[in-house]
Amino acid sequence: MPDPMKIRANLVGDSTEVKVLMSHEMDTGLAKDSSGKVIPAWFIQKVTVLHNDQQVLYAQWGTAVSKNPFMSFKFKGGAKGDKVTITWVDNHNETRTDSAVVG
């Protein structure tokens, strides 16, 4: 089971600012371990963000994204108490979903 994300969602003016930290190795498939064997690619491929039940962001990621990724974005609307739900799926089909309340 992957580690939980750390999500912050705050109202800034008329939009909601979301900051999220994800725990993931994000191996590119290009690096080798100490014995010289290639470490296979293992990375987050899809990120979906829901505001309550409505999708506000969908992203396709590749190996250029860093280890333990940090993503920050804003969307219009949102009110205190609304729910922001984030889901990622990696190329091993592992997935993690966490949510936060807009503050």
Partner 1 sequence: MPRKLRSIPGAAAALALAVITVTLPIVSVPAAAQESVEKAIEQYRQDLQGGNPAELWEARGEEIWNTPRGPKHASFKSCDLGLGPGIVKGAYAQLPRYFPDAGRVLDLESRLVWCMVNQQGLTHAEATKVTFGKGSRKRSDLEALTAYVVAQSDGTKMNVSLADPHVRDMYEIGEKMFFYRAGTHDFACATCHGSDGKRIRLQDLPNLTKKADAQRAYTSWPAYRVSQGEVRTFQWRLHDCLRQQRFPDLIYGSDASIALTTYLAARANGAAYAGPGMKR
Which positions lie near partner 1, rule CB under 8 A? Answer: 3-4, 6, 8, 19, 21, 23, 25, 66-68, 70, 72
Q: Smallest distance from the beta carbon of 56 to partner 1, in angstroms?
A: 19
Q: Smallest distance from the beta carbon of 61 to partner 1, in angstroms?
A: 16
Cβ distance to partner 1 smaller for residue 39 or 52: 39
**Among candidate residues 16, 30, 15, the one with its CA nearest the CA of residue 86:** 16
Cβ distance to partner 1 smaller for residue 4 or 77: 4
* CA angle (62, 67, 70) in 5-degree steps: 90
Cβ distance to partner 1 smaller for residue 52 or 92: 92
Q: Smallest distance from the beta carbon of 2 to partner 1, in angstroms?
A: 9
Cβ distance to partner 1 smaller for residue 67 or 76: 67
Q: Give the span between the Cα atoms of 4 and 101, in whole angstroms.
A: 15
What the block records as the tokens of 19 is 């900051």
55 vs 7, 39, 75, 93, CA distance in Å? 17, 34, 11, 21
